[in-house]
Structure 1
């Protein structure tokens, strides 16, 4: 996975790209930051918790209470649908209260990104 980093996220430094990899044997994530205007990249191995904290810190958009509720509901559905995100979203949209909240949120992309990241981590731990 790649994440574009803008100047505001790097305290005024130039932008860059954060690449995230996973090594099954090490059960760890490799975070590699490649600055936009420099060849001096840096990499570090981290566990899932630290990777998630770093991703949250670098995400400019934040989830509000309703968005967190939607994310939690989707996680439950994904578990019931044996990891199938598409089927889970289909079931969620059939639920009227969920569907109404879903239509009102402006953070659909961020919710789906967090859901997909979570679902991949669930697969990795099986």
Structure 2
């Protein structure tokens, strides 16, 4: 837990996104495989935050894992550029699933879908 003194110091001096990146890389990475590092941001619970969260414009040299999201309203994923494969599976959508303007240079696989709408 952050002490009140540290919280106040951060508030007074300001914390940039670059500062946050350094803190995350220094404190939340571990060895993964073949010398790769893994930044672990799993299990962050923002359910007590009454607002929206933007995770965008990220550049990742290795793999980006997004899984087991529980979203109360809408999950937006757009403008992804993927150097290898894009895996999307086990999605449960209460309303509509929109997929548009996909450019696939390899194969597109779609199977085991259950659609209850029109």
| TM-score after normalising by structure 2 | 0.27
User: Where is the helix percentage greater, Structure 1 or Structure 2?
Assistant: 1
> Structure 1-normalised TM-score?
0.25
* Richer in strand (by share): 1
Query: Highest relative contact order (Cα 8 Å, sep 6+), 1 or 2?
Result: 1
Larger Rg: 2
